[in-house]
Amino acid sequence: MVNQTGHIDQIKQLNTGIVYRIIDQHGPISRIALSKQAQLAPASITKITRELMDAHLIKELEFPVLGLRGRPAIGLVIESEGWQFLAIRIEEQKLTISLKEINAVTLAQTEYPFTPLGNSEFMDSLSELISQFFANHQNILERVTAISILIDGILDPHTGVIYQHPSFKIHQLAIAEHLTKQTGLPTYLHPPVDALALMDHFSHQEKRKAKNIIYIQLQDVVNIMVLNHGIALDTNTRRPILFGHTQCETDQHSFCYCGNNDCLETQTSIPAILQQANNFLINYPDSFLHQHGISIEKICTGATLNDRLCVYLINQVAQQLAKPLALMVNLFGSELILVNSPLNQGSELFLKCLHDHINKYAVPLYLSNLSIEKSLFTVKESETSLIQRALYDGSLLLQLLQG
């Protein structure tokens, strides 16, 4: 009986999420069209939409139908006003808390200095800042539904645990559990790459032909998300993907905070590239960087001018990333690699180098259909995507419907 009840709850969650997603993406939409698109019986549509309307998550709206006279049709749309969530971005030495509506409108935002060390100090500081933020914005608080946290490091979104973080000296911190106890709100912990990949997916899913995608974030960290028809690989495995902590072959040996040596992140992240530029600059007396200084922007500019050091640095990064990415292409038959990185600036050189090196290692069967493109979303504008997914898969919706 327990299993049967659980199965029924799963079906309800799935169907409710499907209905909400279709209304959000295609509203105003009639109940008849909704039934056809969701492939659910009219009786099920009536029941689900009534529950969503009673909870003020959707509403009816009159809209004209082209080619028809008389009374306008009645369609369903999302009712986002009053439904809010807390979006928290934790970066090195700073923390940003935003109050947002579920339609992504930002109602309030505050940035705080944030330099705690260790689990206790981290949680105490975070809890205090959340309480302070709520107190400062009491006049606009309505139905706060959830907390979204984006932070780098080694973490597990499914358990809500941060295992390690290089700056804050965190070790196995159950941050989601702590915050849910403090606030009573469901807490969603994710690395920024998850938000970026989902934002890109929700923005382009209707037009993009490729459905089997690797999304790589190459910034201060190196991380990926694997998407198949909008579903993340770790949704089923419930194990985080730690791509940046794959060991690579290098002459520039570096210790990583994860405990290993020579991880991809220590060789191909933006700080690593800048460090290599400093190390090699003496060997390139004619380099563009001598006159203009070392930054990622200048390295990209130098590469467009065929500066030997700048081209070498970008090619090295592409070469280091190519083997593990090619392995993933071979495993998953990926059609598209999306790259979110400052290396995308000003030139296609990095993407071309990456494609050329992947061609050496990936199976020809998949290479003929493989594209590599830029993704230009920022972490800040992607914050809403995690809550959006929790609504679309029904998990957050059920909690809201149950009060």
Three-state DSSP at 70 gives: coil
pLDDT of 109 strictly over 80: yes
Check: CB of residue 42 under 8 Å from CB of residue 17.
no
User: Sign of dihedral through CA atoms 202, 205, 211, 212?
Assistant: negative
Q: Lowest mean pLDDT: which of 42-51, 57-66, 111-120, 206-215?
A: 57-66
Residue 185: what pLDDT?
Answer: 93
How confident is the model at residue 9, as a pLDDT?
A: 79
Contact status, residue 242 vs residue 225, Cβ threshold 8 Å:
no
367: nearest Cα among 394, 396, 336: 336
Residue 382 has pLDDT above 50, yes or no: yes
Rounded CA-CA distance 60/71 in Å is: 15
Q: How far is CA 397 from CA 4, 18, 33, 83, 273, in A?
A: 21, 11, 22, 12, 43
Answer whether the bond into residue 113 is a cis peptide, omega within 30°: no
Residue 243 gets which letter from DSSP?
A: G
CA of residue 290 relative to chain centroid, distance: 37
Tokens read off for 93: 């030495």
Q: At residue 38, does pLDDT exceed 50?
A: yes
What pLDDT, on a 0 to 100 scale, did the predictor assign at position 285?
Answer: 92
Average of per-residue pLDDT across 203-231: 93
Q: Are 94 and 101 in contact (CB under 8 A)?
A: no
Residue 115's pLDDT is: 95
CA distances from 170 to 157, 254, 306, 378 (A): 16, 21, 42, 25
- pLDDT number for residue 226: 95
In this predicted model, what pLDDT tens digit does every residue of 220-244 receive, in sequence order? 999 999 999 889 998 878 888 999 9
User: pTM for this structure?
Assistant: 0.90
Q: From its phi and psi, is residue 184 left (phi > 0), alpha (psi between -120 and 50) or beta?
A: left
Q: How far apart are CA 55 and CA 57, in angstroms?
A: 5
CA dihedral 90, 94, 99, 105 (to 10 degrees): -90
Tokens of residue 201, six digits: 């997916």
Contact 157, 188 (CB under 8 A): yes
Report yes or no: 48 and 16 within 8 Å, Cβ to Cβ.
Answer: yes
> pLDDT-based confidence at 251, cuts 50/70/90?
confident
Q: Take residue 267 and report the two structure tokens written for it.
A: 């060789």
Residues 153, 162: Cα–Cα separation, whole Å: 7
Hey, which of 231-235, 249-253, 276-280 has the most confident mean pLDDT? 276-280
User: Confidence band (pLDDT; 50, 70, 90) for 2?
Assistant: very low
Residue 346 has what pLDDT? 63
Residue 319 has pLDDT above 80, yes or no: yes
Cα dihedral across residues 161, 329, 337, 357: positive or negative: positive
Residues 403 and 54 sit within 8 Å (Cβ to Cβ): no
Domains by residue range for the chain, with CATH = 2-78 (1.10.10.10), 83-190 (3.30.420.40), 206-380 (3.30.420.40)
Predicted pLDDT of residue 159: 94
In tens, the pLDDT along 116-152 reads 999 999 999 999 999 999 999 999 999 999 999 999 9
Mean pLDDT, rounded, of the chain: 91
Q: What is the pLDDT of residues 22-35, one digit of tens each?
A: 999 998 999 999 99
The residue to which tokens 């020809």 are assigned:
364
The predicted pLDDT at position 5 comes to 54
Confidence of residue 205 (pLDDT cuts 50, 70, 90): confident
Among 66-75, 239-248, 388-397, whose mean pLDDT is lowest?
A: 66-75
Cβ atoms within 10 Å of 136's Cβ, excluding its own: 12
Write down the residue that tokens 């083997």 correspond to.
Answer: 323
